[in-house]
Structure formats: C-alpha cells, structure tokens
Amino acid sequence: MHDLADSVESMEQLATVWRTVVLDRDPAADVRDLPGIAVRWADSRFAFWNCVTLTDVGADASLLERRLKETAEIMRTKSRPGFLWLFEDLLDDEARAALDTTAEQAGLAYAFPGTGMAGDLLPLPEPHHPDLTFERVTTEEHLRAYADINSRAYGFPLEDGRDGLAGSPLWKNGIHACLGLRDGTPVACAATVEARGRLFVLLVATDPEHQRRGYGEAVTRKALYEGTRATGPTRATLHATAAGAPVYPRIGFRPNSPMRFYGLRA
C-alpha cells in the first residue's frame, strides 16, 4: 500500500475538479456530497461527466457494502450511464478482499482499471516534438477536435464526446487545454486545471492512428508547462488508464492508489 495521504489527495482532487467540470456542463448537475459518497453527475452523453466516488478513508467490509448499494441506487436514478471511480487504497484489507463480490451483489459491473498518480514536478522546460505543433483550445472548432480525439481514443460515439465539451466557456478560458497537431491536423490532446494548489491533468488522449509516437507525452508536458506558468503549482495529480499509465512516470508522476471503474450491471 502507498502513503495513504497520496490516495486521499487523489480522491479529493477528483471530487474538486469534477465538481467544476460537471457544473460547467450543466449548472443544475447533481454535485451532492453525501456521507462517504461524492456525486458529480451531469447526466451527459459523455460518460466521464457522470461520476460517483467513495470518500470514506479506511472503510471496512460492512461500510463498503452499504456504500456500494447506495451508489448503485443513485446511478439507477440517472438517465445516462456513468461510472463509480473507486480508490482501492481507501479500503481496509478486508474490504479490498471482498470488493469483487460486494460490487457484484450491489449490482455493479467492473468496467476497467486505473491508477491515481501525483508528482512534485520542477518547472518543466517548454516541450517540443519534431512532429507536432501545439495550440491552446480557444474556439468551438478546437473544442470539437479535442472531443473527437477523446471519443476515438476511448471508444465513444463522436456525438457523446461533443456533448461533453461543446459550448464550454471553462474549456476555452479556465482550463489549459492543448492540442497537438501534426501537419495541421489535431492528433493528441491534454489539459490541466488548478485545484487546491495543484495542477490536475485531465482528458489526455491520442488518436488511435497516431499512438505510440510520444504525442501523448508531448502534449501532456505542454499542458503542464502552460498550467504551471499561468497558475504557479509545481505539484500535479492525475488518474491514468492502463494505456496511459506507462507515459506519466517519464514526466515525473508516481503511482499512488490503484483504481477500479464500475458501471451498473446490465
């Protein structure tokens, strides 16, 4: 198990940032902080904007069972599907051992793994990549390109990704969202936003036809560089998918809590 403080930080960063992005998507979104459960649910077609996470620290098996049942009940009231983001290190050993069975009994289905990461990053040099130019997201055309790269990378319909970002003032002004362009065509993207004295990295993606060329790392470095220059923090956090996890240690991130994503069982 890693330092529990890092895992708590990872969970708190999710709850803080997702409150902001979900309310940007829908000012009437469900952003309740319940006992042991943070709801961050826009009921968007973009499933990442429909999020619940558990906030208890050291939950035992009995408390986990109760929280997962409550979470499933919340998710069943929603029109659109989304995910429970669960930080394994916030559970005690007994609860972790029982997690698969407890989730199944609550009506939740395991979707995919993730990893919380953080790093005390020195100011990064301005990044370069021989294939890429970088452009900050400032227009609706940029937003659509950013959404489409994420949709293709994560297997969502294009309209679902566009539903998550179209028309957002936050993504054009408050978030340092960057596109990596090859020969003028956007092929990778990453964003950072300041939260509680840290930079949070979100929605990093590379078009599947252009992966394994260092584009994701380069555009993430660019988003960190611009975010640090504008807001000051040198510590950053993120939540990595299995595909992205090997990239971030090269920038200075270190894993903390393993994560599991769950949806409602069909």
Two tokens, residue 103: 């989730």
C-alpha to C-alpha distance for 192 and 232, rounded to whole angstroms: 12
Q: Count the Cβ atoms, other than its own, within 10 Å of residue 78.
A: 16
C-alpha to C-alpha distance for 115 and 244, rounded to whole angstroms: 10
Strand 132-136, strand 176-182: pairing: antiparallel
DSSP bridge pairs for 101: none
pLDDT under 70: residue ranges of the chain: 1-2
Chain-centroid distance of CA 48 in Å reads 7
Name the one residue in this structure whose structure tokens are 């979470």: 71
| pLDDT score, position 1 | 45
| pLDDT score, position 121 | 84
pLDDT, one tens digit per residue, over 154-181 is 999 999 999 999 999 999 999 999 999 9
For residues 17 and 196, is the Cβ–Cβ distance under 8 A?
no
User: pTM for the complete prediction?
Assistant: 0.94
From residue 138, how far is each of 142, 171, 206, 246 by CA, in Å?
6, 8, 19, 29
| pLDDT score, position 123 | 80
